Amino acid sequence: MTERVNPLTHCVTCAAELTIDKKRGCKVCRLCHPEPVAAPVPLPKAKAYLDVKMTERRISEMIKEAFETGAVNYVSTDKSRPENIRIEIGMERIRDIIREEMEDLFIQKPPVTKKEIEKLTWRQEAKSLGISLHQEKGGVRKKVDVLADIELRKGADNGKETKQETKKEADQEAA
């Protein structure tokens, strides 16, 4: 006959003795539930920052890359003296690389803000132009009236006359 195991001290499945797991704070069978093996952590990738400063080291790395990829070749002028190596082909490529990197550093780009990207609602636009959304006697103005005032204000800012301005001027002259 099968012997019964004490479930408080031994595993019910394999009858091995239970051990206390400090992380979980309970008794665990190490045969049925082995210790989890930590997965190897991948090395962090080198981050390509936009604001990499141009240094002598950076330029020398770029030139080495150019030689390794074959964009630049060594051409010897004197075969008897290998120390007199002249770079003939690809020097223009090195100049282009350096020029491009330096241009990226010194071109001033206008800052783009979130406010410039998002289109303002008619209420926000009215508020930024200083147009009141409420009537003087109380109550809220209609959207059509506020939009008309926005057009007037924008037209005045741009030096253009809108249809309503010319209509108002014609009414004033007639009176």
pLDDT at position 156: 77
pLDDT at position 148: 93
Task: Look at the chain and report how many structural domains it folds into.
Answer: 3
User: Is residue 163 very low, low, confident or very high in pLDDT (cuts 50, 70, 90)?
Assistant: low
Residue at 43 is within a domain: no
Residue at 171 is within a domain: no
Whole-number percent of the chain with pLDDT over 70:
55
> Residue 26 belongs to what domain range?
1-34
User: Is residue 145 very low, low, confident or very high in pLDDT (cuts 50, 70, 90)?
Assistant: very high
Residue at 50 is within a domain: no
- Count CB atoms within 10 A of the CB of residue 94: 17
Average pLDDT over residues 56-60: 73
Residue at 114 is within a domain: no
| Residue 102 shares a structural domain with residue 140 | no
Residue at 89 is within a domain: yes
β-strand partners of 85: 76
Under 8 Å between Cβ of 65 and 47: no
Query: Closest Cα to residue 21, out of 5, 33, 7, 11?
Result: 33
Average pLDDT over residues 120-130: 89
Average pLDDT over residues 60-79: 65
Residue at 112 is within a domain: no
pLDDT at position 98: 72
Query: Closest Cα to residue 9, out of 17, 1, 131?
Result: 17
User: Is residue 1 very low, low, confident or very high in pLDDT (cuts 50, 70, 90)?
Assistant: very low
Does pTM surpass 0.75? no
End-of-domain residue from the set 83, 106, 129: 106
Of the listed ranges 3-7, 24-28, 43-47, the least confidently predicted one is 43-47
Rg (CA), the chain: 39
